[in-house]
A and B are shown apart, each in its own frame.
Chain A
Amino acid sequence: MKSSRSAGASSPVNGKEDWDTRRKRKSADIAQALSATPVDVAALRRMAISEGGLLTDEIRCQVWPRLLNVPLSVLDQEPETVERENNKDYNQVLLDVQRSLRRFPPGMPDEQREGLQEELIDIILRVLKRNPQLHYYQGYHDIVVTFLLVLEERLATALVEKLSTHHLRDFMDPTMDNTKHILNYLMPIIDRVNPEVHDFMQQAEVGTVFALSWLITWFGHVLSDFRHVVRLYDFFLACHPLMPIYFAAVIVLYREEEVLECECDMAMVHHLLSQIPQDLPYETLISRAGDLFVQFPPSELAREAASHESMASSTFKDFDLASTQQRPDSVLRRRRRQKQAALESSAASSVVAQPSAARRFVRLAVMGLTVALGAAALAVVNTALEWAPKLDLFP
């Protein structure tokens, strides 16, 4: 045993105490938030975002339903069976589920895995049957399997259904137009932080398709370690539906040197970026994504994203509504003022492109915030997300 134990207990909160101690305390904090009446969902949300996320699958079973506002009474309902014959989605779902072996723990006995694969098909078909407005996409099964591996079938069904009608709603349209539109948020975020990387990618004409599977599977399709996948799910479940795109941007930015050293060619850059490194510093990147979300909220990027491609103007009703419900805090207010000033000055001079010097200034500001105020910024993300427990308000 190390001698840090006594020191850990009395040391100031400066990150020096060991992870074991912090983990124990976090676990106790989560238990307390869960036992409060009413349950302290804001605290749970904070825990899901902060270092280590929700720690264990046992805790996730209790907290994930709270984050999505799913009542535990769903456990009393017997899930209905869904006819597989003549089901429009069955063939595609079966094809994808059969090819999802890698998503199951390596040591799992075949029989158990096959049972779970059957449940996986049932859950997907059930959610689609109950919500005829939703359309299956390849990759949806990667989301559902993550829930099934953490929760039992009934709870998994309820959570996936809630997620499908909210966070994943745009991916489940009849077409992928809205999915493409969400991908359009990626380049403006990158541009704000590192215009050099942005310009390089634009020049290579790499597009954003490399991030498609990241976005629509919440990285479940591309990360091989299940612990990393659920850690990200903790984060995304506690955040705005666009947070995965901020996280995608953060990954690209983290690989800035590799990107700039790559041959400036569409195929080469696409290939480099789509091979996601498996040893990413997840906690750091989560913190950065949170910072970027605060610095450049979706409402601020919306116009730029829309200009990338003509889009259906009805997109993002949910998200607009969400952002109007964000509690105005000092950071957002400041950003809004800056944006207003920028708009006024650009209107006056009718210059479309921002001078790159100004952009670099912004970049420094972001880096400064990331280093100095990471934890504070996360708290801001958290308060900005008070809308989430009210998910039921949305159609």
Chain B
Amino acid sequence: MAKQYDVLFRLLLLGDSGVGKTCLLCRFTDNEFHPSHISTIGVDFKMKTLVIDGIKVRIQIWDTAGQERYQTITKQYYRRAQGIFLVYDITSERSFQHIMKWASDVDEYAPEKVRKILVGNKSDEVDKRQVATEQGIKLAKAYGMDFFETSAFTNHNITETFTRLAEQVLAANKKDLDLLRMSVNDEINLAALEEEEGLCDSAAGDQGKGCWC
């Protein structure tokens, strides 16, 4: 049974409640926007296939509940992620301040080589803006992340943001990418390989990591 893609990996949306994580996802995967979207309880995911440099990249994007108490549930999904969106709402200073907390949780629970990207959503709500674009740029720089301001409502920068993180995850796994290019017919399930590697890691310490960088 031939798969419809060459590589599969998992991305994760994190950020405070109400910053628009589910809306970003719906806009990206279904090109839909529901202003009255329901709260996410627990976790769920959507899938989309992108073509990057001729490679069919299947991405599984996990969406999470934003309320702090849910973290005990959602953090078990961090370790399976290869890329993470840290999302805040440009109309909420508080959600921006919390990015630091989200980032430190990622450091604690996600794999060391996970790629991260900073997203300031609701860029269309100019009148309510509380976080200047420069603040976002500065924070992203401090963390060594890329940064996008997006609007799920107007479809601004959505594809760009998701594609950028997908590219970064691919680049982080470049060796396998090259292998893939050499043997076009072979399929690589990156997510599955990562898990195997995870098993190696637990047995052989950090040595296993070398083969991916």
Question: Which residues of chain A have a CB within 8 Å of any CB of chain B?
Answer: 92, 95-96, 98-102, 135, 137-139, 141, 174-177, 180, 207, 209-210, 212-213, 216-217, 221, 266-267, 270-271, 274
CB-contact partner of A138 in B10, B44, B60, B67, under 8 A: B67
Contacts of B44 on A, CB cut-off 8 Å? 270-271, 274
What are 13 A-B pairs with beta-carbon distances under 8 A? Answer: A95-B18, A98-B36, A99-B18, A99-B37, A99-B38, A137-B69, A138-B70, A175-B69, A207-B76, A213-B41, A267-B10, A267-B45, A270-B44
Q: Which of B32-73 contact A (CB under 8 A)?
A: 36-45, 60, 65-67, 69-70, 72-73
B155 at the interface (CB under 8 A from A): no
Q: Is B17 an interface residue (CB 8 A)?
A: yes
A176:B73 contact, CB within 8 angstroms: yes
Contacts of A221 in B (CB 8 A): 38, 41
Knowing A139-B39, A267-B45, the reply to whether A176 touches B17 (Cβ < 8 A) is no
Q: CB distance A138 to B65 under 8 Å?
A: yes
Query: How many angstroms from the CA of A119 to the CA of B130 in the assembled complex?
Result: 30
By the criterion CB–CB under 8 Å, are A99 and B69 in contact? no
Q: Which chain A positions have C-beta within 8 A of B76?
A: 207, 209
Shortest 10 CB-CB distances between A and B: which pairs?
A213-B41, A212-B42, A101-B36, A95-B18, A138-B67, A139-B41, A96-B39, A138-B39, A209-B42, A176-B72
Q: How many residues of B contact A (CB 8 A)?
A: 23
B43 touches A95 (CB 8 A): no
User: Chain B CB within 10 Å — which of A209, A270, A274 has the most?
Assistant: A209
The chain B residues found within 8 Å of chain A, CB to CB, are: 10, 17-18, 36-45, 60, 65-67, 69-70, 72-73, 76, 80
Q: Is the beta-carbon distance between A95 and B39 smaller than 8 angstroms? A: yes
Q: Which residue of B lies closest to A217 (CB)?
A: B41
Min C-beta distance of A182 to chain B, whole Å: 13
Contacts of B60 in A (CB 8 A): 267
Q: Which residues of B contact A137 (CB under 8 A)?
A: 67, 69
Which of the listed residues A101, A213, A216 has the most CB atoms from chain B within 10 Å of its own CB?
Answer: A213
Knowing A213-B42, A216-B41 touch, does A138 contact B73 (C-beta < 8 A)? no
Contact flag A209-B38 (CB < 8 Å), given A138-B65, A138-B70: no
Q: Are B37 and A209 in contact (CB under 8 A)?
A: no
Q: How far is the CB of B99 from chain A (nearest CB, A)?
A: 17
Q: CA separation between A266 and B60, bound complex, in Å?
A: 12
Closest residue of chain B to A179 (Cβ to Cβ) is B73
Q: In the complex, which residues of chain B have a beta carbon less than 8 angstroms from the beta carbon of A216?
A: 41
CA–CA, A216 to B67, complex, Å? 14
Q: Nearest chain B CB to A324's CB is how many angstroms away? A: 30
| Residues in A neighbouring B66, C-beta threshold 8 A | 138
Interface centre among A99, A102, A137, A270 (most CB of B within 10 A): A99
Inter-chain contact A175/B72, CB cutoff 8 Å = yes
Residues of B within 8 A of A174 (CB): 69
- Write out the residue numbers on chain B whose beta carbons fall within 8 Å of the beta carbon of A96: 17, 39
Query: Which of B41, B60, B72 lies at the interface centre, i.e. has the most chain A CB atoms within 10 A of its CB?
Result: B41
Of the residues A99, A177, A266, contact of B39 by C-beta under 8 Å: A99
CB distance from A37 to the nearest CB of B (A): 43
Question: Please, how many angstroms separate the alpha-carbon atoms of A266 and B191 in the complex?
Answer: 11
Q: Please, how many angstroms separate the alpha-carbon atoms of A139 and B72 in the complex?
A: 16
CB atoms of B43 and A209 under 8 A apart: yes
| CB <8 Å contact, A102 and B38 | yes
**Complex Cα gap A92–B36 (Å):** 15
By beta carbon, the residue of chain B nearest A216 is B41
Residues in B with CB closer than 8 Å to A175 are 69, 72
Chain A residues, CB < 8 A from B39: 95-96, 99-100, 138-139, 141
| Bound CA–CA A213/B45 (angstroms) | 15
Give Cα distance in the complex from A266 to B192, angstroms. 11
CB distance from B19 to the nearest CB of A (A): 10
The residue of chain A having its C-beta at the shortest distance from the C-beta of B76 within the complex is A207
Q: Complex: how many Å from CA A194 to CA B42?
A: 26
In the complex, the answer to whether B67 meets A92 with C-beta atoms within 8 Å is yes
CA distance A99 to B36 in the complex (A): 5
- B38 and A100: CB pair below 8 A? yes
Of A176, A177, A212, A271, which is within 8 A of B45 by CB? A271
Given contacts A99-B36, A102-B36, A137-B67, contact A180 B72 (CB under 8 A): yes
Which chain A residues border B18 with CB–CB below 8 Å? Answer: 95, 99
